[in-house]
Amino acid sequence: MTAPGPGSVAAVLGLPRFFNDQLAGFRYGWETYGDLYHVQFAGWDLWICSSPDQVKEVLVDGRDQWRRIEENRWGRPFGLRLALGEGLLTTDGPAWQWRRRVMNPAFHRELVNDMAATMVGAGKEMSQRLGEAATRSRPIDLLTEMKRVTQDIISRTMFSADLEHEGGRVGSAVDEALDYVARRSRSIVELPLTVPSPAKRRFDAAMRDIDQAVYHSIALRRESGEAGDDLLGLLLQATDEETGRELSDDQIRNEVATVYGAGHETTANALTWAWHELMQTPEILARLHEEVDRIDPMDVGGLQYTRMVFDEALRFRPPVPVNGRVTTKPARLGPHQVAKGATALLIVTNIHRHPDHWEQPEVFDPDHFMPGARAGRHRYAYLPFGAGPHMCIGSNFALLEGVILLAMAAREFTFQPATELPRGQATAVTMKPKGGLPVKVGRR
Site residues (vs ligand HEM, CB under 6 A): 68, 88-89, 100, 258-259, 262-263, 266-267, 270, 319-320, 323, 384-386, 390, 392-394, 397-398
Cβ 308 to ligand HEM shortest distance, Å:
15
Name which of 151 and 217 has its Cβ closer to ligand HEM: 151
**Rounded-to-integer distance, Cα 107 and Cα 104, Å:** 6
Name which of 235 and 392 has its Cβ closer to ligand HEM: 392
Pairing of strands 425-427, 431-433: antiparallel
**Rounded-to-integer distance, Cα 429 and Cα 417, Å:** 26
Name which of 48 and 133 has its Cβ closer to ligand HEM: 48
Cβ 328 to ligand HEM shortest distance, Å:
15
Cβ 104 to ligand HEM shortest distance, Å:
9
Name which of 51 and 396 has its Cβ closer to ligand HEM: 396
Residue type, 89: L
Cβ 63 to ligand HEM shortest distance, Å:
11
Residue type, 146: M
Q: At what angle do helices 249-263 and 93-103 cross, to 10 degrees?
A: 80
Cβ 102 to ligand HEM shortest distance, Å:
11
Name which of 123 and 386 has its Cβ closer to ligand HEM: 386
Angle value at C-alpha 431, between 124 and 360, nearest 5 degrees: 95
Name which of 5 and 397 has its Cβ closer to ligand HEM: 397
**Rounded-to-integer distance, Cα 156 and Cα 168, Å:** 9
Nearest to 82 by CA among 169, 200, 181: 181
**Contact by Cβ (8 Å): 310, 403:** yes
**Contact by Cβ (8 Å): 349, 23:** yes
Cβ 255 to ligand HEM shortest distance, Å:
8
**Rounded-to-integer distance, Cα 118 and Cα 154, Å:** 10
Cβ 88 to ligand HEM shortest distance, Å:
4
Q: For residue 93, with 0-12 CB atoms within 10 Å meaning exposed, 13-18 middle and 19 or more buried, which class applies?
A: exposed
Name which of 302 and 324 has its Cβ closer to ligand HEM: 324
